[in-house]
């Protein structure tokens, strides 16, 4: 392996772009979006997890706010990223399941910030299609793992890897990208994609000299499998009491034998030892990411940028990790759909000047809320006063909660603002053979799920049963609550009409619906199918 600077092949290009960026008056805050891939909402120390070590993420929460009821409405990679990009709900951005992000939307996060005078830069995983379609970023250095959707594409991380270690295999650890197996990274940790992403972000922040504010997205490809942290992070959790898989009283249908040749099952009972090994390595990946975030915060502080930078941390979705004998994502359950969402605002941001630090918000929030949040921070007006039906976004600025415009709060655990949405919608089309398609609603206290291919309903009391161990739908004592949530879903889906709702009543759907009529059609591509016959398997990356 070569011993020169780990960023040497990229430095000249990156610094040239930084120094040659156009100039504007820098009167608005910088915006830093930190993102992990496939990180569960319960994998933060401040979320009550006493085992995981996330000191730098915990710091963001204690110096800002944590949204404990944050969700990914369509919990797989690409539809989640479409929500982040557009500020829209699944029906309005068009992706009801795993499909390619459309080449162009009418309003896109980084393009809007760019048009408003921000210098826009991305590092890490974007998962767009085509893969060099940056949707408005001035520049991006990509880590798209093994994903290469065209013969001429190789991610910047892989190009850098081969320039630094031309005789080594970046996949030498031998664990797949939807694998349940776990192990220590077999190469020097300086070559790990998590370290590369951190290095590039730190270099950008050290070198940036543009007079306009920046929007920097740092998107880590972990803790998504492979579960492959450096050995030192596996040792951290070697004797830790990592939480075992939660197994609900309803989960017996997933308690099946796994094909020994299948390293990427979507369901099955793999036993407590495999679950523990996967979780130890998953926690290690998160702690490695947390370390990189600590480096990023340190350079912000050293350059005097910390109090002029809005920082938001989140993930695209979670990871079941064996809960209820389920693996990977695309499910309505907490391990898949609940995500971390932390916001630390700068002292210079007038909109949050009097907001108390250390807030824990209980309102149901979602990835669609991040774009409006950034627009408000940047001083780009959103027509909030318009009727929601005609507003350009389904999301709403989180700053409205922090500074009290959506209702009061106090330091510490916050009640739910009456001016905020009462619940959030969740859904996913079929992704794995036999998994079916579903719609759901949650307010963070209750969750109602309709498995639309069978008509089965589930109801969970998340306040008293956060691990969803007991399905209350069959219990007569909860019939009224069940009917209340069913009627809410009927109203939510009413605009779609058949086959979702007929005569005001929820319907079973015999056919999987992947795309809504709002999905933008690219004239250069053949029309995308809006339905898929039951049983066909889709990849969920």
- Spatial distance between the Cα atoms of 268 and 468, rounded to a whole number of angstroms: 18
Closest CA to 170 of 129, 228, 220, 128: 228
The first and second tokens of residue 202, run together, are: 């730190």
Domains of the chain, with CATH numbers?
Answer: 8-425 (3.40.720.10)
Closest CA to 289 of 535, 536, 43: 43
The end-to-end CA distance of the chain, in Å, is 30
- Spatial distance between the Cα atoms of 104 and 474, rounded to a whole number of angstroms: 44
What pLDDT, on the 0 to 100 scale, is given for residue 261?
A: 87
Instruction: Write out the chain's pLDDT in tens, 541 residues.
Output: 554 454 555 545 555 555 544 443 347 999 999 999 999 999 999 999 999 999 999 999 999 999 999 999 999 999 999 999 999 999 999 999 999 999 999 999 999 999 999 999 999 999 999 989 999 999 999 999 888 888 888 999 999 999 999 999 999 999 999 999 999 999 999 999 999 999 999 999 999 999 899 999 999 999 999 999 999 999 999 999 999 999 999 999 999 999 888 999 999 999 999 999 999 999 999 999 999 999 999 999 999 999 999 999 999 999 999 999 999 999 999 999 999 999 999 998 988 888 999 999 999 999 999 999 999 999 997 644 444 455 789 999 999 999 765 543 333 455 567 889 999 999 999 989 878 899 999 999 999 999 999 999 999 999 999 999 999 999 999 999 999 999 999 999 999 999 999 999 999 998 999 999 999 986 444 444 444 444 334 445 6
Closest CA to 40 of 439, 435, 319: 319
Closest CA to 196 of 5, 363, 402, 398: 5
What burial class does residue 409 get, using C-beta atoms within 10 Å of its C-beta: 0-12 exposed, 13-18 middle, 19+ buried?
A: buried
In the block, which residue shows the tokens 């008056």?
25
What pLDDT, on the 0 to 100 scale, is given for residue 423?
A: 98
One-character DSSP codes across 84-132: HHH---HHHH-BSSS-PPPS--SS-HHHHHHHTT-EEEEEE----SSTT
- Spatial distance between the Cα atoms of 111 and 40, rounded to a whole number of angstroms: 29
What pLDDT, on the 0 to 100 scale, is given for residue 313?
A: 99
What pLDDT, on the 0 to 100 scale, is given for residue 382?
A: 62
Strand-pair category, 424-428 with 438-442: antiparallel
What pLDDT, on the 0 to 100 scale, is given for residue 1?
A: 57
What pLDDT, on the 0 to 100 scale, is given for residue 531?
A: 47
| DSSP count for the chain of H helices, then E strands | 13, 18
What pLDDT, on the 0 to 100 scale, is given for residue 14?
A: 59
CA angle 127, 133, 134 (to 5 degrees): 80
Say whether pTM exceeds 0.85.
Answer: yes
What pLDDT, on the 0 to 100 scale, is given for residue 412?
A: 46
* Residues found in the chain: 541
Closest CA to 388 of 419, 359, 356, 343: 419
What pLDDT, on the 0 to 100 scale, is given for residue 267?
A: 95
**73, 93 in Cβ contact below 8 A?**
no
**Catalytic residue list:** 77, 127
What pLDDT, on the 0 to 100 scale, is given for residue 314?
A: 98
């Amino acid at each position: 392996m070569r011993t020169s600077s780990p960023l040497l092949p990229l430095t000249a290009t990156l610094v040239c772009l930084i120094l040659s960026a156009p100039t504007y008056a820098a009167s608005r805050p910088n915006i830093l979006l930190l993102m992990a891939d496939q990180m569960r909402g319960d994998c933060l120390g401040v979320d009550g997890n006493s085992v995981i070590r996330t000191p730098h993420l915990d710091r963001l929460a204690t110096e800002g706010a944590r949204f404990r009821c944050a969700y990914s409405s369509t919990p797989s990679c690409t539809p989640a990223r479409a929500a982040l990009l557009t500020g829209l709900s699944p029906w309005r951005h068009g992706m009801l399941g795993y499909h390619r992000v459309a080449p162009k939307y009418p309003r896109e996060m980084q393009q809007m910030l760019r048009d408003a005078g921000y210098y826009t830069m991305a590092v890490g995983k974007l998962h767009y299609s085509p893969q060099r379609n940056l949707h408005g970023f001035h520049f991006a250095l990509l880590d798209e793992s093994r994903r290469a959707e065209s013969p001429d594409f190789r991610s910047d991380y892989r190009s850098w890897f081969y320039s630094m270690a031309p005789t080594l295999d970046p996949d030498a650890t031998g664990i797949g990208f939807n694998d349940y197996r776990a192990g220590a990274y077999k190469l020097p940790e300086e070559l790990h994609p998590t370290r590369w992403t951190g290095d590039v972000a730190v270099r950008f922040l050290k070198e940036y000299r543009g007079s306009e504010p920046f929007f920097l997205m740092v998107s880590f490809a972990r803790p998504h499998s492979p579960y492959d942290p450096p050995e030192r992070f596996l040792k951290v959790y070697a004797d830790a009491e990592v939480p075992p898989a939660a197994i609900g009283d309803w989960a017996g249908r997933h308690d099946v034998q796994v094909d020994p040749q299948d390293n990427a099952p979507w369901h099955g009972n793999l036993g407590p030892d495999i679950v523990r090994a996967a979780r130890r390595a998953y926690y290690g990946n998160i702690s490695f990411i947390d370390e990189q975030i600590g480096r990023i915060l340190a350079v912000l502080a050293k350059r005097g940028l910390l109090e002029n930078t809005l920082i938001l941390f989140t993930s695209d979705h979670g990871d079941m990790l064996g809960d209820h004998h389920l693996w990977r994502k695309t499910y309505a359950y907490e391990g898949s759909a609940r995500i971390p969402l932390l916001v630390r605002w700068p002292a210079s941001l007038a909109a949050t000047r009097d907001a108390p630090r250390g807030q824990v918000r209980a309102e149901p929030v979602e990835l669609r809320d991040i774009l409006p949040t950034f627009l408000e921070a940047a001083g780009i007006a959103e027509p909030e006063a318009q009727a929601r039906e005609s507003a350009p976004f389904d999301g709403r600025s989180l700053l409205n909660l922090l500074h009290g415009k959506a209702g009061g709060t106090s330091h510490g655990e916050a009640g739910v603002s009456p001016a905020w949405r009462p619940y959030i919608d969740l859904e996913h089309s079929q992704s794995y053979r036999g998994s079916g398609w579903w719609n759901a609603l949650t307010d963070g206290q209750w969750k109602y799920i309709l498995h639309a291919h069978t008509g089965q309903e589930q109801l969970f009391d998340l306040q008293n049963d956060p691990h969803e161990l007991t399905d209350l739908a069959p219990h007569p004592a909860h019939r009224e609550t069940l009917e209340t949530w069913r009627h809410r879903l009927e109203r939510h889906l009413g605009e779609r009409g058949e086959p979702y709702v007929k005569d005001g009543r929820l319907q079973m759907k015999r056919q999987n619906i992947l795309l809504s009529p709002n999905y933008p059609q690219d004239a250069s591509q053949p029309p995308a199918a809006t339905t898929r016959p039951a049983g066909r398997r889709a990849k969920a990356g």
